[in-house]
Amino acid sequence: MSTVSRCGYVAIVGRPNVGKSTLLNCILGTKVSIVSPKPQTTRFQILGIKTQGDSQAVYIDTPGLHQDEKSAMNRYMNRLASAVIPDADVIVFVIEAMKWTDEDQGVLLKVQEAQSPVLLVVNKIDTVGDKKNLLPFLDEIKNKFAFTQIIPLSATRSENLRGLTCEIEKLLPEGPPLFPDEQVTDKNLKFQVAEIVREKLIQATEQEVPYCTTVEVEDWKEVDNRPEISVLIWVEREGQKLIVIGKKGERLKWIGIEARKEIEALLKQKVFLRLWVKVKEHWTDDDRALRQLGYN
C-alpha cells in the first residue's frame, strides 16, 4: 500500500433527489450507490473510497434529509443522515441549480452547527437553459452561509467534478489511509445484490409502492460453481404484492432479468437468481420490523 499523507471522511448531504448518489458514483468512476429519479432511493450510509496520489477521501452517501417524518422509516433516514454531519472532516452540501427549498434550508441549519468546512455543490447545471440565470442564483446562495467554496457542476455529465475533488483533497486532514488502495466501498456483496434488486424494483413500480418495499438476501449458496441467490422482496399489503408480481408475473420477471444482468457484471460470473414477494404489514412504521430488516 502506498503512503497516503491525507485521509478523511467526506459527508455528502442534501435533501432528497438532488443527485447525491449520482455524484458519488461519478467521483468514484464506478457504481456503489443505487440511483433512480424517485426521491428517498438511498436508505443507508454508503461508503465510497477514493484513493488518488497522496490522499484518500472516504465519502459517505446519505439518505436525503426531509421534513416529512410520518413513519419510522422517515425518522430512521433523517437520523442516519444527520448523524454523519458532526464527525465529518469535510461536508459536501448538494443542492439543485435554480432551486432553494424549505428542505434545503433545513439541511443548512444542520450543516451550520458543524465545525468542518462546507463545500456547496450546485448540481444539475446542465438543466439550466440560459446559463446567465445561474450567476444571480449563485450570488443569492453565497449570502446564506460562509461556504468554503461554491462549486457548480453536473454529476450526470461529469462537468467540473475535478474542481470538486481538488477542493476536497486540500481540506482533508493529514493522516494514514483507512482502507486499502483498491477498496472502493465498505458494503459486502450481499448488500450490493439486495440494493441492485431494489433499484430495479423502484424502476418497475410507481406511486407509493417503492416506498413500501425492501429487499433481503435470504440465501446464497454455490451450486456447480455458480451462485444461487434467493432474494425476498417485502411489501406492506397484499395489493402491493400483486403489483410487484404484475400480470402473469411479467413485472417480477423483468425485475429479475434486469437485476441478474447487473449482478453477473458485479460478480463476473453467471448466477441463478430467485425472487420471492412476501407481505409484512406496516413494516415501514414499526421500529422492531425495521431492525429485523437491517435498518439499524
CATH of the domain at 236: 3.30.300.20
User: Cell digits for 107?
Assistant: 439541511
- Report percent pLDDT > 70 for the chain: 99
Is 81 a member of any domain? Answer: yes
Whole-angstrom distance, CA of residue 198 vs CA of residue 217? 11
Using the predicted structure, report yes or no on whether residue 1 has a pLDDT greater than 70: no
Whole-angstrom distance, CA of residue 259 vs CA of residue 105? 37
Beta bridge partners of 268: none
pLDDT (0 to 100) of residue 3: 54
User: Cell digits for 109?
Assistant: 441549519
Task: Summarize pLDDT for 40-67 with one digit per residue, the tens.
Answer: 899 999 999 999 989 999 999 999 999 8
pLDDT (0 to 100) of residue 70: 82
Residues 85 and 224 in one domain: no
- Please choose, from the candidates 239, 234, 236, the residue with its C-alpha nearest in 3D space to the C-alpha of residue 217: 234
Is 152 a member of any domain? Answer: yes
Using the predicted structure, report yes or no on whether residue 165 has a pLDDT greater than 60: yes
Residues 166 and 86 in one domain: yes
Assessment of whether the complete model's pTM goes beyond 0.85:
yes
Give the pLDDT mean for 11-29: 96
Using the predicted structure, report yes or no on whether residue 4 has a pLDDT greater than 80: no
Residues 24 and 167 in one domain: yes
Residues 91 and 193 in one domain: no
**Cβ contact 18:66 at 8 Å:** no
User: Cell digits for 62?
Assistant: 446519505
> Which of 171, 202, 225 is the last residue in one of the domains?
171
Residues 145 and 44 in one domain: yes
> Which of 128, 143, 171 is the last residue in one of the domains?
171
* Number of domains making up the chain: 2
Is 176 a member of any domain? Answer: no
* CB neighbour list of residue 185: distance below 8 Å, 6 or more residues apart: 32, 46, 47, 48, 49, 192
pLDDT (0 to 100) of residue 211: 92
218 secondary structure, DSSP code:
E
Is 206 a member of any domain? Answer: yes
CATH of the domain at 109: 3.40.50.300
Give the pLDDT mean for 107-132: 94
Residues 196 and 131 in one domain: no
E strands, the chain, where? 6-13, 46-52, 55-61, 90-96, 118-123, 149-152, 214-223, 226-235, 272-279
Q: Number of helices (H) and strands (E), helices first, in the chain?
A: 9, 9
176 secondary structure, DSSP code:
-
Residues 160 and 20 in one domain: yes
Please report, as a single letter, which amino acid is at residue 254.
Answer: W
Domain hosting residue 120, numbered range:
6-171
Average pLDDT of the chain is 95
Identify the weakest region by mean pLDDT among 127-136, 251-260, 266-275.
127-136
